[in-house]
Amino acid sequence: MSIISKDISKAIQLLTAEDIVAIPTETVYGLAGNIYSEKAIKSIFETKKRPFFNPLIVHIPSIDQLSDIVAYIPEKAQLLAEAFWPGPITLVLKKKAIIPDLITGGKDTVAVRVPNHPTTLELLNRLNFPLAAPSANPFSSISPTTALHVETYFKNNIRMVLDGGACTSGIESTIIGFENDEPIIYRLGSTAIEAIEAVVGKIEIKNTVTEAPKQKTIPDAPGMLARHYAPKTKTVLTENVQETLDLYKNKRIGLITFQSEINHKIIEVQIALSKSGDLEESASNLYDILHQLDNMHLDVIIAEKLPDYGLGKSINDRLTRATK
C-alpha cells in the first residue's frame, strides 16, 4: 500500500506522536520530526543513515517564530528573512539554549528557514513545535522532488509522505551563515546569489567545491562534503559535450543538456533541462531527470555545464558534487 497521502491531519497525528513524516517544500521533500523530540530526531538520522555531526534545518511557519529559536539576529539576517521568507533561504544563526544539540550537531548555531509551500505552511501553523527536516533521501544520494521519489527511497522505513506535488524550485535552499555579522554563502541553492546581493551587497561564497574539493575535516555546512547529491551511475560534467561523447564510444550514455539536442548516434537517451534555456525551469527539472537516468542502468551520465550565473551557478555546484 502506498504511504503517499494528502491528509494533513494524519501528518499532525504522527508528528505529535514523535513519529517522522516526509513533507513537501518548494525546494525538495524533507524528512520531518518535532525538534524537541529526541526520539523523532534520532529516527531522522537513522532513517537517512546520516552521521550525527551533520546538523538539521529547523522549519518555522513565519518570521515571527525566529526569535524563539535564535539568540541574536544580525541586521543583514533580518533583511534577508524579510526579503525572502517564506522561501528558499536558510539562515545559520546563534542558537537559543532550548534548541537540542542533536539538531545542531553540537554547534552553537542553528539553521532555520520558512518554507514556501502551502501544505507545509498549513502543517507548521497547526503544530505547536517547529520541524527539523533534512532532505528526504539516504545520505549523499539524489534529493527527492516528488512524493514518489521519497516513497521509492523509504517505503519500508516511514509511515507517511505528505503529498504536495512536485517541488517547484527543485534544488535545496541557499544557506547563509554570518561572521562578524556579515553574511557568507555556505551552500549555493534555489535563491540566486544575484538576488541575495541585491539585498545585502557583495557576498562571499565559502566551502564551494572549487574552494574546498576534498575535505577531511567537518565543513561549516556538511552538505558541502565533496560527494553529495550523487547518482549511483558514473556522472561526468563537461563544457564540451561532443568531445566528451567521443571518450565513451562503446558505453551506454545518458546525456543531460541545458537546452539543445545533440546529434550523435551513440547517445542512448538525452534530456534537456529547459528547451527554452530557462534556469529556474532547469533547477526544477534537475533531480527528477537525474533520478530517471539513474534508474536506466546506463554506463555513464554526461551532463553539460550550465551558464555560471543565477541558478546556473547552483546547478553547476550540484552537478559537480554528483561527479565525485
Among 203, 199, 215, 235, which residue's Cα sits nearest to residue 87?
Answer: 199
Beta bridge partners of 46: none
Near ligand TXA by CB under 6 A, which window of 12-20, 153-161, 217-225, 262-270? 217-225
| Interacting residue with ligand TXA among 3, 28, 279, 322 (CB under 6 A) | 28
Does position 257 interact with Mg ion (CB under 5 A)? The reply is no
Residues 44/23, Cβ–Cβ less than 8 Å: no
Does position 25 interact with ligand TXA (CB under 6 A)? The reply is yes
The C-alpha cell at 154 is 523509504
The 3-state DSSP class for residue 22 equals: strand
Q: In terms of CB distance, is 19 or 172 closer to ligand TXA?
A: 172
The C-alpha cell at 288 is 527528477
- The residues in 120-179 that bind Mg ion, with binding defined as CB under 5 A, are 135
Does position 56 interact with ligand TXA (CB under 6 A)? The reply is yes
Q: Which residue minimizes CB distance to ligand TXA?
A: 223
- Quote the strand ranges of the chain, DSSP E: 4-5, 21-23, 30-34, 57-59, 89-94, 109-113, 131-132, 161-162, 174-179, 182-187, 204-205, 235-238, 253-257, 267-272, 300-304
For the purposes of burial, counting CB atoms within 10 Å of the CB of 182, is it exposed (0-12), middle (13-18) or buried (19 or more)? middle
Q: Which residue has the cell 524533507?
A: 30
Near ligand TXA by CB under 6 A, which window of 52-60, 152-160, 289-297, 305-313? 52-60
Q: In terms of CB distance, is 37 or 135 closer to Mg ion?
A: 135
The distance of closest approach from Cβ of residue 29 to ligand TXA in the complex, given in angstroms and rounded to an integer, is: 7
| Interacting residue with ligand TXA among 37, 173, 191, 233 (CB under 6 A) | 173
Q: Which does 110 bind (CB under 5 to 8 A by kind): Mg ion, ligand TXA, none?
A: ligand TXA
Cα distance between residue 110 and residue 92, in whole Å: 5
The distance of closest approach from Cβ of residue 238 to Mg ion in the complex, given in angstroms and rounded to an integer, is: 25
Binding site residues, ligand TXA, CB under 6 A = 25, 27-28, 30, 54-57, 88, 90, 92, 104, 107, 109-111, 115, 133-135, 172-173, 175, 186, 220-223
